[in-house]
Structure 1
Amino acid sequence: MTGTDIVAARLITHADLKAIADRGALKEDRLPDGVSLPVILLRTISSVDRQPLKLGELRRSTDRVAVLVRAGSVKERKALIGLIRSVAPGEDEALADCFAVSTRLAGLGPSLLGPGDTYEQTQDLRVTYDAPA
């Protein structure tokens, strides 16, 4: 499991974001051609593993994940970014095969004009977790 998997799992806990995922518009790395708006794209910006002196059963990692929203209007973009900012942060004792999961806001990007007369904005998240080594 990676930081993008953790973010996706947290986002789909909200019905509106799960509806986006269910129609195939929540993707990692690349959006397919012709996908209908709104869409959410997850990208790993960086990943850092803690380097303990003695290796154990778990590896502590911190991933920076960018959550890009592409929408058909400014109002829709703002609503989705607001929803992501309220749903994504949090802590989970365990999530899939990871433990001590923490997700925090890590910076809001500028609002931009996207391809095909769309509106985009990125919310970065800092995801820290323990995973089997």
Structure 2
Amino acid sequence: MNGVIVVRSLLVADTGVTALVPAERIVAGMLPQGTSLPAISLMSVSSTDRNIAAPGPNRRVSERVQVTVLAASYPAAKAIIRAVRAAAADQMPAIDGLTDVTVHTDSAGPDFLDEETGIHMQTQDFRVSFNEAR
């Protein structure tokens, strides 16, 4: 879940993102029922650590983090996705407890519409790599 923390820290620190989605609606994990729109949910998709023959105090981890944008309109969802990409792509943030952190874009998901609720959604994945203590 460290990759989720990394991406969330980039999003809540970016004024372009928080101008569109308040920081309290940018959450790690599932959004609570009844959350107002727009909102952003971040989840870990997969994580791999490198096992080496003579391990040191740290291990290198690569985690795929999915950012899901939920908005009341298609144009709003697209604007938020653009802001998310601008805030998190190709970054090397300083995060407590982690070293050598890098964030790059991975695949983008399709457009979704929940017809019952009228919620427009899109996903953007990020590849987050970092060293963490064993």
Root mean square deviation of aligned Cα:
1.6
1:60 and 1:118 map into 2 onto residues whose CA distance is 37
1:75 and 1:106 map into 2 onto residues whose CA distance is 22
Structure 1 unaligned blocks of 5 or more:
none
Other-structure match for 1:117 = 118
Greater alpha carbon shift after TM alignment, 12-21 vs 25-34: 12-21
CA shift, 1:18, in A, is 3.7
CA shift, 1:99, in A, is 0.7
Residue aligned with 2:81, SS:
helix
2:35 and 2:94 map into 1 onto residues whose CA distance is 33
TM-score normalised to structure 1 length? 0.91
Other-structure match for 2:106 = 106
Other-structure match for 2:37 = 37
Q: Could you report, residue by residue, the CA deviation over 1:50-78 in whole angstroms, capped at 9, with x for unpaired residues? A: 11111111111000000000001111000
In structure 1, give the amino acid aligned to 2:133: P
Identity %: 32
8 Å contact from structure 2 (residues 44, 63) kept in 1: yes
The within-5 A match list for 1:13-52 is 13-18=13-18, 20-22=21-23, 24-52=24-52
Divergent runs of 4+, >2 A = 16-22, 90-94
8 Å contact from structure 1 (residues 44, 65) kept in 2: yes
CA shift, 1:13, in A, is 1.9
2:120 and 2:22 map into 1 onto residues whose CA distance is 19
2:102 and 2:22 map into 1 onto residues whose CA distance is 22
Higher strand share: 1
In structure 2, give the amino acid aligned to 1:121: Q
CA shift, 1:26, in A, is 1.1
1:62 and 1:120 map into 2 onto residues whose CA distance is 25
Residue aligned with 1:80, SS:
helix
Structure 2 unaligned blocks of 5 or more:
none
The within-5 A match list for 1:4-83 is 4-18=4-18, 20-22=21-23, 24-83=24-83
Other-structure match for 2:96 = 96
1:126 paired to 2:132: no
Distance 1:54-1:94 versus aligned 2 partners, 3 A rule: farther
8 Å contact from structure 2 (residues 29, 41) kept in 1: yes
TM-score normalised to structure 2 length? 0.91
